[in-house]
Amino acid sequence: MRTSPFNLRQQAYDRIRELLRSGDLAPGERVSSLGLSKRLGISRTPVREALSRLCSDGVVREVPGFGVLVHMPDEKELRELYGMREVLECYAAREAARNITDEELKRLAELLLQWRAMARHLQQSGESTLDQRMQDRWIKIDEKFHEIVLRAARSQLLFKTVDDMRLTARTLESRRGRANLSLGPAAKTLLDHTRLLRALQRRDAVAAEYWMRVQLAVGRDRHIAEVRRRDEIGGR
């Protein structure tokens, strides 16, 4: 049975977003419908339509005479982005504390167990940072954790808005030039997420909001440092 044009467009859109989320497409990188079509095994028309939709989302942009580029936010835009995320994601954390199910709490706890095992492995291995495979897995766990919290707020509009914002920030974590996570930051990330989970388990909306704000501040500072490093390298 043939796949419908709508399903192909959605499939192309979802898979390109995953390439952006995973860091396979770097900020400022030129992307072509032909190249993505070959890479994804999807014809060019749905890929072009997916890129147009991603332009509307703000995660890629079309430059006349040059093509489509992965959006590269500057420091000012990042500060604005994180300011909006703080408002929305802290609200989501409060709502999640009121609405989250036992099954969702169980899934969050399972994700943190995976992180804890990875941190223990890093400590015991004697390596200074996670290797590439484990780094990619760490990021996917983080994405899944926050997806569960956002969905627990029970607002599809809120989920879509925040997910687009998170994707814009996530594009800065391209595999190319990305510093892999060391034990200290990994332990801090695990501790902050554990505290958020405990707040959700207690149905404590105030504490859930607080620990979400702490996590956003860490992410903001890390991404701003990455932008400054990128600008410094580009200015040489």
- What are the pLDDT digits (tens) for 17-61? 989 887 788 888 999 999 999 999 999 999 999 999 999 988 999
pLDDT tens digit sequence for 201-218: 999 999 999 999 999 999
- The residues near 22 (Cβ < 8 Å, ≥ 6 apart) are 136, 139, 140, 175
Residue 165 · residue 157 · CB < 8 Å: no
Of 172, 188, 153, 192, the residue nearest 72 (C-alpha) = 172
Higher pLDDT pick, 236 / 94:
94
Q: Are 63 and 158 in contact (CB under 8 A)?
A: no
Q: Where are the beta strands (DSSP E) in 54-172?
A: 60-63, 67-70
Q: Quick check: 106 pLDDT over 70?
A: yes
Domains along the sequence of the chain with CATH: 5-70 (1.10.10.10), 75-234 (1.20.120.530)
Residue 68 pairs in a beta bridge with: 31, 62
How long a stretch of residues is the chain? 236
Is the pLDDT at 179 greater than 80? The verdict is: no
Range of 29-43, 64-78, 131-145 with top mean pLDDT: 29-43
